[in-house]
């Protein structure tokens, strides 16, 4: 067979040599560039972690770590003896994240099921775009919504003394986590083969029964990964919770108590510390704690997602 | 397995709703303390005025990062009490009269009472520099402490630091850039100073940043700002750290105004005055005043609230 097109494939006896020469220069260069891009992600993560860790390291010898994790007395600017206890801050982060997940998981999974199973065509496309838009809203705008709109609303509806609290922050975080859960959840549901659905229909299952009895168990790893990624998003969120939770150092006893998160503490206080001082280093230590938490959550989610990609047609 | 999800989910939902409805904050009788971030000069001054040098605030106050934010939050929250510079008053909030001790007459936060020092929470406002200011910065500081600079302090709702003020410098300032950073209480005054000064001295560029007195002082120590504006005095060890870091240059302190720190409540709040002791009972660690009903109305003689 003769290849007719001009210029695409060099013809003649020198042809093979020409291709090989071009390949010699071009291919390895491109490969090296792509490899660098891939490795750079690891390099950046490692560099950031090392930076945060080395800024925090000097204080590890001086601080009582037990007191650090179990005391609520966050008084870095105390006149005589500053105390650095982050228990109230940890409770703040956990409470607002937990409440956000209570709201976001049913909402997100429900939306994922709806988009994946129950709607089609234009509505499906519109919904997907709108949910992505929800993710594109800057977090400071969410914080503003919480501060200006939800604050008076919560006071009016619940009679709380103040509307900047776990409820407010949790609502905002839920709305920010939903797009993450929907995207990954929808992928997980799409990955379930149609044969499962067809088999269920042939056995007489209703639409809800297909979702509840067949799809959820089949896609549970992917859905769990979606939830964990939503959790990772919520833990790391800073601006929105800074504005919407009231920024109060205390352990919450109800959803209507204002709290402060680890992230908001760093954001509010790092700029005013003296470089190299104790307060500065403790804030970086909080950064290490957050880094560790986010890493664990994302790593777990990643392992689980690999689990479903590795094939689980059992 | 799927069957056991439903009761678990129902319980979780019920608990969350119960949390919202049930122990919901004690209603609006609960006092919501609004405070500043912990590096703020206003925060430090208020703590010392109420609780003494070793005093500690009760944790759990709603901490705002700016003077204006405190007033705005109080104006939107009927159960709130907060403290901020007198220049930030708006029509939606009320400034309480303060009595030094319960039973003594309460003084209103006015310009006259701040000047005379009769108002219990009057405080000086400071500018700090590393060593004697030179060049454009020196002209600026000389102008700020003069009649013109102090007129701007008064226009912004604060109080000039003295009655007898020097004349403004006559010679125009040399060219240069001046960085001003620090107190959020003073940031609006500083902005007005910068605008007026730059108008008369177009060769000078002034950049003003807020962030809190602590931030300004930290930047002065780090060497990243020329003038630190502060609503609290710089501590001795801070001045020492600055001198050590910059080859022995002593920090210079200038008093550039006075503030009557206002205690703000929502405009519908029936309270008109409060004593320093009661404020300490509200804000201090170990203080026992948590509800508005514990504060006796003005003029009552029963010494309750403990």
pLDDT tens for chain A, residues 1 to 314: 554 545 555 555 555 555 555 557 889 999 999 999 999 989 998 999 999 999 999 988 888 889 899 999 998 877 678 889 999 999 999 999 999 999 999 999 999 999 988 888 899 999 989 998 988 999 999 999 999 999 989 988 988 889 999 999 999 999 999 999 999 999 999 999 999 999 999 999 998 889 989 999 899 888 888 898 899 889 989 999 999 999 999 999 999 999 999 999 999 888 777 778 888 999 999 999 998 888 888 788 778 767 755 554 44
From chain B, the residues in CB contact with A256 under 8 A are: 20, 24-25
Q: How far away is chain B from the Cα of A137, in angstroms, using its nearest Cα? A: 24
C-beta of residue A159 within 8 angstroms of C-beta of residue B20: no
* Residue whose C-alpha is closest to residue B290's, from B57, B103, B30, B79: B30
Cα B110 versus chain centre, distance: 16
**The pairing of beta strand B93-95 with beta strand B204-211:** unpaired
Interchain contact, A255 vs B24, CB within 8 Å: yes
Q: How do residues B137-168 score in pLDDT, each as one tens digit?
A: 999 999 999 999 999 999 988 889 888 888 88
The helix-helix angle for B236-245 and B213-222 (nearest 10°) equals 30
Rounded Cα gap, residues B222 and B252, in angstroms = 16
Q: Please name which of B69, B95, B77, B97 lies closest in space to residue B31, comparing C-alpha atoms.
A: B77
Contact B255, B125 (CB under 8 A): yes
Closest Cβ opposite residue B25 in set A79, A106, A256: A256
Count CA within 13 A, CB hemisphere, residue A285. Answer: 21
- Interchain CB contact of A217 with B (< 8 Å): yes
Distance between CA atoms of B193 and B153, rounded to whole angstroms? 8
Nearest to A78 among B21, B56, B65 (CB): B56
Of B269, B227, B228, B306, the C-alpha closest to B96 is: B269
Q: Which of residues 35-54 of A touch B (CB under 8 A)?
A: none
Mapped onto helix, strand or coil, the DSSP state of residue A83 is: strand
Task: Please list the ranges in chain B whose pLDDT falls under 50.
Answer: 1-2, 22-26, 298-306
A70 touches B at CB < 8 Å = no
First to last CA, chain B: 55
Chain A contacts in chain B segment 227-256 (CB below 8 A): 241
Tell me, letter by letter, the H, E, C secondary structure of chain B.
Answer: CHHHHHHHHHHHHHHHHHHHHCCCCCHHHECEEEEECCCCHHHHHHHHHHHCCCCCECCCCEEECCHHHHHHHHHHCCCEEEEECHHHCCCCEEECEEECCCCCCCECCCHHHHHHCCCCCEEEEEEEEECCCCHHHHHHHHHHCCHHHHHHHHHCCCECCCCCCCCCCCCCCCCEEEEEEECCCCHHHHHHHHHHHHHHCCCEEEEEEEECHHHHHHHHHHCCCCEEEECCCCCHHHHHHHHHHCCCCCEEEEEEEEEECEEEEECCCCCCEEEHHHHHHHHECCCCCCEHHHCCCCCCCCCCCC
| A160 → closest Cβ in B25, B31, B212 | B25
Chain A residues within an 8 Å CB radius of B236:
none
Question: CA-to-CA distance for B270 and B103, rounded, in angstroms?
Answer: 18
| Interface residue of A80, A106, A255 to substitute, partner B, most B CBs within 10 Å | A255
Asked if B205 contacts B158 with a C-beta cutoff of 8 angstroms, the reply is no
Residues 6+ positions from A312 with CB-CB distance below 8 Å:
A221
Any CB–CB contact under 8 A between B54 and chain A?
Answer: yes
CB A298 within 8 A of CB A218: no
pLDDT at residue B3, rounded to an integer: 52
Scanning chain A, the segments in alpha helix (DSSP H) are: 15-56, 65-70, 87-113, 121-136, 139-145, 151-158, 166-190, 194-202, 207-209, 216-218, 220-236, 239-244, 262-269, 278-309
Helix, coil or strand: residue A263: helix
Interstrand relation of B204-211 and B176-182 (parallel, antiparallel or unpaired): parallel
How many other CB atoms sit within 10 Å of the CB of residue A172?
Answer: 27
Q: Return d(Cα A188, Cα A277) in angstroms, integer.
A: 47
Residue A103 neighbours by CB distance under 10 Å = 18
């Amino acid at each position: 067979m003769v290849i007719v097109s001009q210029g695409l494939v060099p013809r003649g006896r020198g042809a093979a040599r020409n291709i090989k020469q071009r390949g010699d220069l071009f291919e390895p260069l491109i490969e090296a560039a792509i490899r660098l891009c891939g490795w750079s992600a690891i390099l950046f993560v490692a560099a950031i972690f090392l930076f945060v860790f080395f800024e925090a390291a000097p204080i590890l010898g001086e601080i009582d770590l037990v007191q650090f994790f179990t005391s609520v007395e966050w008084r870095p600017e105390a006149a005589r003896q500053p105390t650095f206890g982050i228990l109230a801050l940890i409770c703040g982060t956990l409470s607002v994240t937990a409440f956000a997940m209570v709201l976001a998981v049913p909402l997100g999974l429900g939306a994922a099921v709806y988009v994946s199973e129950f709607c089609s065509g234009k509505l499906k496309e519109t919904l997907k775009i709108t949910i992505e838009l929800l993710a594109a809203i800057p977090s400071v705008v969410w914080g503003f919504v919480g501060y200006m709109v939800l604050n008076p609303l919560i006071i009016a509806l619940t009679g709380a003394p103040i509307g900047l609290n776990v409820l407010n922050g949790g609502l905002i975080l839920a709305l920010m986590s939903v797009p993450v859960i929907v995207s990954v959840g929808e992928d997980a549901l799409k990955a379930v083969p149609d044969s499962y659905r067809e088999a269920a229909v042939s056995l007489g299952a209703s639409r809800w029964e297909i979702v509840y009895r067949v799809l959820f168990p089949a896609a549970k790893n992917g859905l769990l990964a979606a939830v964990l990624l939503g959790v990772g998003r919520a833990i790391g969120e800073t601006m929105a919770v800074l504005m919407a939770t009231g920024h109060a150092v205390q352990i919450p006893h109800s959803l209507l108590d204002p709290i402060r998160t680890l992230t908001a503490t760093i954001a509010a206080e790092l700029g005013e510390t003296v470089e190299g001082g104790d307060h500065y280093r403790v804030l970086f230590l909080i950064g290490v704690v957050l880094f560790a938490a986010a890493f664990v959550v994302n790593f777990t989610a990643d392992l689980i997602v690999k689990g479903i990609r590795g094939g689980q047609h059992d | 397995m799927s069957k056991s999800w439903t009761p678990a989910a129902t319980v979780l939902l019920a608990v969350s709703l119960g949390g919202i409805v049930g122990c919901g904050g004690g209603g609006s009788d609960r006092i919501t303390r609004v405070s500043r971030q912990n590096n703020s000069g206003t925060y430090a001054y208020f703590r010392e005025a109420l609780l003494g040098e070793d005093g500690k605030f009760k944790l759990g106050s709603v901490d705002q990062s700016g003077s204006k934010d405190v007033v705005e939050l109080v104006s939107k929250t009927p159960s709130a009490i907060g403290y901020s510079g007198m220049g930030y008053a708006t029509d939606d909030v009320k400034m309480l009269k303060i009595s030094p001790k319960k039973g003594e007459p309460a003084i209103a936060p006015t310009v006259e009472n701040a000047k005379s020092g009769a108002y219990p929470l009057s405080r000086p406002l400071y500018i700090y520099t590393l060593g004697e200011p030179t060049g454009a910065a020196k002209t600026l500081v000389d102008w700020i402490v003069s009649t013109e600079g102090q007129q701007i302090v008064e226009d912004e709702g604060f109080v000039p630091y003295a009655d007898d003020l020097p004349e403004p410098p006559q010679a125009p300032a040399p060219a240069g850039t001046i960085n001003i950073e620090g107190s959020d209480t003073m940031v609006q005054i500083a902005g007005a100073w910068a605008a007026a000064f730059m108008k008369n001295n177009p060769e000078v560029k002034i950049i003003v940043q807020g962030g809190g007195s602590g931030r300004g002082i930290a930047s002065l120590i780090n060497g990243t700002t020329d003038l630190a504006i502060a609503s609290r005095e710089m501590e001795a060890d801070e001045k020492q750290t600055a001198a050590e870091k910059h080859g022995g240059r002593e920090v210079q302190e200038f008093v550039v105004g006075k503030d009557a720190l206002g205690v703000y409540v929502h405009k519908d709040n029936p309270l008109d005055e409060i004593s320093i002791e009661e404020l300490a009972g509200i804000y201090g660690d170990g203080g026992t005043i948590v509800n508005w009903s514990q504060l006796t109305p003005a003029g009552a003689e029963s010494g309750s609230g403990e």
